[in-house]
Amino acid sequence: METIKQHTNTKENQKAHQASGSIAVIDALLSENVDTIFGYPGGAIMPIYDALYDYRDKLHHILVRHEQGAIHAAQGYARVSGKTGVVFATSGPGATNLVTGLADAMIDSTPVVCITGQVFAHLLGTDAFQETDIVNITSPVTKWNYQITDANEIPEVLAKAFYIAKSGRPGPVLIDITKNAQLQLFDYNGYKSCIHVRSYRPKPVVKPEYIQAAADLINQAKKPLVVFGQGVILGNAEKEFLQFIEKANLPTAWTIMGMSAIPTDHPLGVGMVGMHGNYGPNYLTNECDVLIAIGMRFDDRVTGRLDKYAKQAKIVHLDIDPAEVDKNVLTTVPVWGDCKETLPLLTALLEPKEHKTWMQEFQDKMQYEKEVLIDKERFPETEELTMGEVLFELNELTHGNAVMVSDVGQHQMVVCRYSKQNQTRSNITSGGLGTMGFALPAAIGAKFGAPERTVVAIMGDGSAQMNLQELGTIMQFQPNVKIIILNNQFLGMVRQWQELFHERRYSFTDITSPDFVQVAKGYHIKGQKVAERSELKKALTEMLASNESYLLEIMVAKEDNVFPMVPQGKGVSEIVLSKDQI
Amino acid sequence: MKQEYTITAYTENQVGILNKIAIMFSRRKISLESLNTSPSEVENIYRFTIVVKESESVVKNLVKQIGKIVDVLKVYVNTNDEIIWQQIALYKVPTEIIMKEAKVERLLRAYGANAVVIRNDYTVFESTGQDEEINKLLSELHKYGLIEFVRSSRIAIMKASEGIHKSILELEKNDPTKDPINNEFLSLKSKIFQM
């Protein structure tokens, strides 16, 4: 605040002082301990950028190359750090370029605050230059949004924005500020953070009778299965969760969004559920007697065909968002609440159990999957490299300590199936929306959010070309990001479906790529291309050892498929391990 | 099975709240039978009354989603037997015919319709009631040269409701600035705790 006052007309003996709306925005960010902003300037947000100029030492602004890059970077930042990501964009196209990222952050519950400039209030609704109705455009893809037309509203609305984005089930918030409000001088009383909004309940009331009922079910269960999602990470409840599963030795599977909340090699971990998850947890979902779902939302990619999903099981569902309970799968016992609060209550009521024979079923299934599938990808007999072996090689070198940022498609499934992750907030991927082009900007944001960690972005040749311009951001701001492009010269996942379900009619999935290493070179980013198995380890080692960003293009088999697979429209126990089974 | 449900949502007085509620329906391709916005018994709190024909499970999920909108304070859903509801209708009929035909006047009286405006050329009647009675009168008046007709959306009072006053007090009471939460009760598993 001291520094802010120097730039405003402090009147003696008066608490309030004159400040511009823009200064109030900057002060709000400083007060919320924001250290990094991802953004792109433009006409309607210039007053805020002008105010930022004096605070550029405290508020590290990363100039992206496209606003979509800004919001994905903010998401990556938020996902690794647990802090709220902040985005600046101008009105019109600047704001509309945020829409994909907002939808992504909405469906993956990522706390992001976007501040967009807007035309002068008197021009609203006149089709003014770069005017767009961004509040209405973004209503379905934001947790909350609001347009400010008067500077007096700025402190309170921004406080509310940060509170809503981060509390309860997190999500993106967009605040649109007209240019006149940014310029307007008003009596500024300082920033007061928000801790309550009358019409907003971040957490439901916990009902102990349901905790008891849930504990009874789990205690009686002969074949319990825990499936957890990102809720465990968002609730910072990793420790509470481990205590919960370890007390009763509960076999535990994760969703793509929950991955890394427990170490991937935890003895109770039985793998990933979902369309390309592991054989055991998918198959045995339809054999468990009690399914304990924690901080997950029964996405269709997790459940497969709903009327064939865990029909034999009693369902216990822990979630902070009451709207998720009974949305897709009817619950036997709903446990509403923040799992950081509900898990310890539940753990206290659990009876220690072994579940050895039941656990053995998962281990047998995993062994089977390993033999018929995983080992073949890890130690292929073909000349061509597989995506799987790249991941296993990478695990050896990172020891599972890297942040893995994946894009969308086959490589994403391979990353989530095979990468070893020892610590929480290591798996950054676009889970719900499946946004190609997510990884490169998200990795940039992740590096700024966790500078001490190794950040590896893994992309396909298709997704790499979707936000490739962000190499420019890397060039300018030098985050040390490792970029791996697994190039199979196809839009691999769509091609896989075409092969399996459309009689190999490869309709527009054969995508050509530039020489990625040359492109990187153009951005002064080091890199190399690998096509031979013998070069792989050395190249990965060089990439990881490099003290700056590095791009590694790896040519992999053109027509490999990701298995296992729960084909669309099939139940989870109809999971197949090869294409002959389809 | 689809049936009529009346959704009552109390909201803050915010520009754009209508859109935020409306997109909850349009996204799921649910059409609104009727929608009314009005003030409530509490100043600055608005009351939306929305009627849909849907199955119970769809409505339940929908209502939970509406409840998640930040500016929505409370949402209720009721079947028709749980509410007192009314609509108002206006009918414009040529005055000449009413003067000539005594049965029209009898008809209007039978339906409890009142004249709002009487002019030489036309008369406007209003009647209050539920769809059925309003529609019946409408079809009757068609026979007598009905010129114009309009019907309002449904407004409803919940039989079991104690109003929003109490809820508001409760919601405001949960303001942690006024009533700080004590997290230590977490170890006391028998106590219900509020956030």
Residue of A145, A156, A198, A236 to mutate for B, most B C-beta atoms under 10 A: A198
Instruction: Using the predicted structure, report yes or no on whether residue B184 has a pLDDT greater than 50.
Output: no
Measure A186 CA to nearest chain B CA, in Å.
Answer: 23
pLDDT at B164: 82
A130 catalytic? Reply is yes
Span A51-67, mean pLDDT? 97
Chain A residues inside the 8 Å CB shell of B43: none
Q: Which two tokens stand for residue A449?
A: 């959010």
Instruction: Using the predicted structure, report yes or no on whether residue B107 has a pLDDT greater than 90.
Output: no
Instruction: Using the predicted structure, report yes or no on whether residue A120 has a pLDDT greater than 70.
Output: yes
Which residues of B have a CB under 8 Å from any CB of A? 11-12, 15-16, 19-20, 23, 27, 60-61, 64-65, 67-68, 70-73, 168, 171-172, 174-177, 186-187, 189-195
Question: Is A200 in contact with B70 (Cβ distance < 8 A)?
Answer: yes
Question: Is A206 in contact with B20 (Cβ distance < 8 A)?
Answer: no
Measure A263 CA to nearest chain B CA, in Å.
Answer: 27
Q: In terms of Cα–Cα distance, which of B94, B88, B144 is closest to B111?
A: B88
pLDDT at A15: 66
Measure A347 CA to nearest chain B CA, in Å.
Answer: 11
Selecting among A166, A179, A223, A447, the annotated active-site residue is A179
Question: Is A135 in contact with B16 (Cβ distance < 8 A)?
Answer: yes
Tell me how many helices (H) and strands (E) chain A has: 25, 20
- Looking at residue A57, the DSSP 8-state letter turns out to be T
Chain B residues inside the 8 Å CB shell of A208: 189-192
Of the candidates B70, B174, B176, the beta carbon closest to that of A144 is on B70
Q: Do domains B3-81 and B84-151 have the same CATH topology?
A: yes
A179 catalytic? Reply is yes
Give how far Cα A295 sits from Cα of A224, A226, A398, B98, Å. 17, 11, 28, 67
Measure A198 CA to nearest chain B CA, in Å.
Answer: 6
Question: Is A197 in contact with B191 (Cβ distance < 8 A)?
Answer: no
Residue partners of B85: CB distance under 8 A and separation at least 6: B6, B130, B154, B155, B156, B157
Span B150-179, mean pLDDT? 79
Residue of B189, B190, B191, B194 to mutate for A, most A C-beta atoms under 10 A: B189
User: In angstroms, how far is CA A57 from the centroid of its own chain?
Assistant: 28
Chain A residues inside the 8 Å CB shell of B193: 205-206, 341
Question: Which residues share a beta bridge with B45?
Answer: B12
Instruction: Using the predicted structure, report yes or no on whether residue A247 has a pLDDT greater than 50.
Output: yes
Measure B14 CA to nearest chain A CA, in Å.
Answer: 9
Q: ipTM value of the model?
A: 0.92
Question: Which residues share a beta bridge with A173?
Answer: A113, A144
Span A411-435, mean pLDDT? 98
pLDDT tens digits, one per residue of A172-226: 999 999 999 999 999 999 999 999 998 999 998 898 999 999 999 999 999 999 9
Question: How much of chain A exceeds pLDDT 90, in percent?
Answer: 96
Residue of B10, B45, B58, B68 to mutate for A, most A C-beta atoms under 10 A: B68
Instruction: Using the predicted structure, report yes or no on whether residue B187 has a pLDDT greater than 60.
Output: no
Question: Is B189 in contact with A199 (Cβ distance < 8 A)?
Answer: no
More confident residue, B194 or B77: B77
Q: What is the DSSP secondary-structure string of A260-312? A: TSS-TT-TTEEEE-STTS-HHHHHHHTT-SEEEEES----HHHHBSGGGSSTT
The whole-angstrom separation of Cα B157 and Cα B152 is 16
Chain A residues inside the 8 Å CB shell of B70: 143-144, 164, 197, 199-200
Buried b / exposed e along A466-480 (16+ C-beta atoms within 10 A): bbbbbbbbbeebebe
Nearest residue in B to A138, CA atom: B20
Quick one: residue A524, left, alpha or beta (phi over 0 = left, psi -120 to 50 = alpha)? left
The whole-angstrom separation of Cα A528 and Cα A85 is 32
Question: Is A199 in contact with B12 (Cβ distance < 8 A)?
Answer: yes
Q: Which two tokens stand for residue A436?
A: 């190609």
The whole-angstrom separation of Cα A270 and Cα A249 is 12
Chain B residues inside the 8 Å CB shell of A337: 195
pLDDT at A13: 43
pLDDT at B175: 61
The whole-angstrom separation of Cα B106 and Cα B144 is 13
Nearest residue in A to B168, CA atom: A198
A129 catalytic? Reply is yes
Q: Residue A301: how many CB atoms within 10 A of its CB?
A: 18
pLDDT tens digits, one per residue of A347-400: 999 999 999 999 999 999 999 999 999 999 999 999 999 999 999 999 999 999
The whole-angstrom separation of Cα A489 and Cα A411 is 12
Nearest residue in A to B180, CA atom: A195
Q: What is the DSSP secondary-structure string of A151-164? A: GGGHHHHHHHHHHH
Measure B81 CA to nearest chain A CA, in Å.
Answer: 25
The whole-angstrom separation of Cα B116 and Cα B159 is 30
Instruction: Using the predicted structure, report yes or no on whether residue A67 has a pLDDT greater than 70.
Output: yes
Of the candidates A198, A201, A341, the beta carbon closest to that of B172 is on A198
Crossing angle for the helix pair A339-349 and A208-220, to the nearest 10 degrees: 50
Q: Which two tokens stand for residue A160?
A: 């509310």
pLDDT tens digits, one per residue of B24-56: 999 999 999 999 999 999 989 999 999 999 999
In single-letter form, the type of residue at position A274 comes to G
A503 catalytic? Reply is no
A153 catalytic? Reply is no
Chain B residues inside the 8 Å CB shell of A135: 16
The whole-angstrom separation of Cα A284 and Cα A362 is 8
pLDDT at B167: 77
Buried b / exposed e along B142-154 (16+ C-beta atoms within 10 A): eebebeeeebebb
A10-14, A340-344, A356-360: lowest mean pLDDT where? A10-14
The whole-angstrom separation of Cα A562 and Cα A500 is 11
Instruction: Using the predicted structure, report yes or no on whether residue A9 has a pLDDT greater than 50.
Output: no
Question: Is A321 in contact with B195 (Cβ distance < 8 A)?
Answer: no
Span B69-83, mean pLDDT? 95
The whole-angstrom separation of Cα A269 and Cα A239 is 15
Selecting among A5, A46, A130, A559, the annotated active-site residue is A130
Quick one: residue A192, left, alpha or beta (phi over 0 = left, psi -120 to 50 = alpha)? beta
The whole-angstrom separation of Cα A521 and Cα A549 is 11
3-class DSSP assignment, residue B128:
strand
pLDDT at B48: 97
Span A317-335, mean pLDDT? 95
Selecting among A493, A496, A563, A565, the annotated active-site residue is A493
Residue partners of B43: CB distance under 8 A and separation at least 6: none
Question: Is B195 in contact with A203 (Cβ distance < 8 A)?
Answer: yes
3-class DSSP assignment, residue A70:
helix
pLDDT at A450: 98
Span A468-486, mean pLDDT? 98
pLDDT tens digits, one per residue of A93-110: 999 999 999 999 999 999
Q: What is the mean pLDDT of chain A?
A: 96
The whole-angstrom separation of Cα A6 and Cα A481 is 38
Measure A432 CA to nearest chain B CA, in Å.
Answer: 17
B3-81 CATH: 3.30.70.260
B84-151 CATH: 3.30.70.1150
pTM: 0.94
Instruction: Using the predicted structure, report yes or no on whether residue B181 has a pLDDT greater than 50.
Output: no
Question: Is B177 in contact with A323 (Cβ distance < 8 A)?
Answer: no
pLDDT at B176: 52
pLDDT tens digits, one per residue of A251-282: 999 999 999 999 999 999 999 999 999 999 99
Instruction: Using the predicted structure, report yes or no on whether residue B182 has a pLDDT greater than 50.
Output: no
Q: Which two tokens stand for residue A401?
A: 């300590």
pLDDT tens digits, one per residue of A76-89: 999 999 999 999 99
A3 band by pLDDT with thresholds 50, 70 and 90:
very low
pLDDT tens digits, one per residue of A302-325: 999 999 999 999 999 999 999 999
Question: Is B27 in contact with A345 (Cβ distance < 8 A)?
Answer: no
In single-letter form, the type of residue at position A49 comes to Y
Question: Is A198 in contact with B193 (Cβ distance < 8 A)?
Answer: no
Domain limits of chain B?
Answer: 3-81, 84-151
